[in-house]
Amino acid sequence: MPDFEDDPLTGAERTFLRALSNKKVRFLLVGMSAAVLQGADVATQDLDLWFESLDAPEIGKAAALAGGFYATRMQPPMVGGAGLERIDLVTQCSGLEPFDVEYRGAIAIPIGDLRLRVLPLERIIANKTAADRPKDRAALEQLRAALAVLREVERGR
């Protein structure tokens, strides 16, 4: 992903995420992109979005506004089109509570003029630990280090 000090979103991604927010579609940014926004020194190339419901017709409308599409007959469904290639739709988050619970505990992080609801680092670690894939195990040390720094900064306030 681009450096989050710069604008990390493509124009299409920004349009899509803004439209979702304007249409009151509940979603969370999860995974490594959410960790990067919280200071984790990890790399990722996608934006993992966990939706309250993938049946919401507003997802397709938001994709269309961004010049893309929403394919619901695929498993998992997908958003695509120019500038939307990095968007991955998450259908399951191992080790986490139901969407409503995690949504209430999410943090809001500004990216330019957007405020995205993001899964906190503690919950990303719980997810990666439960998923237990090789790439998740490899990232856990960096995620835990970022969490320790974040907690230290919070204690210093």
Q: What does the alpha-carbon distance between residue 60 and residue 68 come to, in Å, rounded to a whole number?
A: 9
- What is the per-residue DSSP string for 90-116? ES--TT---HHHHHHT-EEEEETTEEE
Domains in the chain: boundaries: 11-156
- The band of 6, judged by pLDDT with boundaries at 50, 70 and 90, is low
Encoded amino acid at 4, one letter:
F
Helix (H, G, I), strand (E, B) or coil at 142: helix
Query: Which residue, 21, 25, 12, 48, is CA-closest to 110?
Result: 21
Q: Which residues pair with 28 in a beta bridge?
A: 50
- The band of 76, judged by pLDDT with boundaries at 50, 70 and 90, is confident
The model's pLDDT over 115-144, given as tens digits with 9 standing for 90+, comes to 999 999 999 999 999 999 999 999 999 999
The answer to whether domain 11-156 has CATH 3.30.460.40 is yes
Q: What does the alpha-carbon distance between residue 104 and residue 119 come to, in Å, rounded to a whole number?
A: 10
The model's pLDDT over 47-60, given as tens digits with 9 standing for 90+, comes to 999 999 999 999 99
